[in-house]
Chain A
Amino acid sequence: MSNPVLDTIRSRRVARNLTDRPVERALLEQVLDAARWAPSAGNRRLQRFVAIENPLTLRLLRMVSPGMFQRPTAAVLICIDRERVVSFGMRTNLKGLSVDVGTAAQTILLAAHSLGLGSGIVTSFSQAAVRAILNLPERLSPELFVCLGYAEPAQPLAMRARAPVTWQSLTDWERFPRSKS
Chain B
Amino acid sequence: MASPLVLSEDEALEIIALLVTAARTQLDESAEYAPLRMLAAVGRLAGFIAERATPETRAFLAGPLQHMPDAAFRTADPARYAADLDLVCRAVAEHLARHFGLDSDAK
Instruction: Identify the A interface with B (CB < 8 A).
Output: 63-67, 69, 124-126, 128-129, 156-162
The answer to whether A125 and B21 touch across the interface, beta carbons within 8 angstroms, is yes
Residues from chain A with a CB closer than 8 A to the CB of B33 are 124
Cβ-closest chain B residue relative to A157: B72
The answer to whether B72 and A161 touch across the interface, beta carbons within 8 angstroms, is yes
Q: A126 touches which one: B21, B37, B74, B76 (CB < 8 A)?
A: B21
Whether, in the assembled complex, B14 has its beta carbon less than 8 Å from a beta carbon of chain A, the answer is yes
Whether, in the assembled complex, B102 has its beta carbon less than 8 Å from a beta carbon of chain A, the answer is no
The answer to whether B72 and A64 touch across the interface, beta carbons within 8 angstroms, is no
Give the shortest distance, in Å, between B4 (CB) and chain A (any CB).
Answer: 25
The answer to whether A64 and B17 touch across the interface, beta carbons within 8 angstroms, is yes
Q: B29 touches which one: A124, A160, A161 (CB < 8 A)?
A: A124
How many residue pairs link A and B with beta carbons under 8 A? The number is 46
The answer to whether B18 and A63 touch across the interface, beta carbons within 8 angstroms, is yes
Give the shortest distance, in Å, between B66 (CB) and chain A (any CB).
Answer: 13
The answer to whether A129 and B76 touch across the interface, beta carbons within 8 angstroms, is no
The answer to whether A157 and B17 touch across the interface, beta carbons within 8 angstroms, is no
Residues from chain A with a CB closer than 8 A to the CB of B76 are 160-162
Residues from chain A with a CB closer than 8 A to the CB of B21 are 63-66, 125-126, 129
The answer to whether A63 and B13 touch across the interface, beta carbons within 8 angstroms, is yes
For A63, A129, A156, A160, the residue with the greatest tally of chain B CB atoms inside 10 Å of its CB is: A63
Would A66 and B18 be within 8 Å (CB), given that A124-B25, A124-B33, A126-B25 are in contact? yes
Q: B40 touches which one: A64, A69, A158, A160 (CB < 8 A)?
A: A69
Cβ-closest chain A residue relative to B37: A66
Q: Which B residues from 7 to 59 make CB contacts under 8 A with A?
A: 13-14, 17-18, 20-22, 24-25, 29, 33, 37, 40
Give the shortest distance, in Å, between B16 (CB) and chain A (any CB).
Answer: 9
Whether, in the assembled complex, B70 has its beta carbon less than 8 Å from a beta carbon of chain A, the answer is yes
Residues from chain A with a CB closer than 8 A to the CB of B40 are 66, 69
Would A63 and B17 be within 8 Å (CB), given that A124-B29, A125-B25 are in contact? yes
A101 to B11, CA, bound (A): 33
A158 to B70, CA, bound (A): 9
Residues from chain B with a CB closer than 8 A to the CB of A129 are 17, 21
Q: B75 touches which one: A69, A126, A157, A160 (CB < 8 A)?
A: A160
Residues from chain B with a CB closer than 8 A to the CB of A128 are 24
Residues from chain B with a CB closer than 8 A to the CB of A162 are 75-76
Give the shortest distance, in Å, between B63 (CB) and chain A (any CB).
Answer: 20
Can you list 11 residue pairs at the A/B interface with Cβ under 8 Å? A66-B22, A66-B37, A125-B21, A126-B20, A157-B70, A160-B72, A160-B76, A161-B72, A161-B73, A161-B76, A162-B75
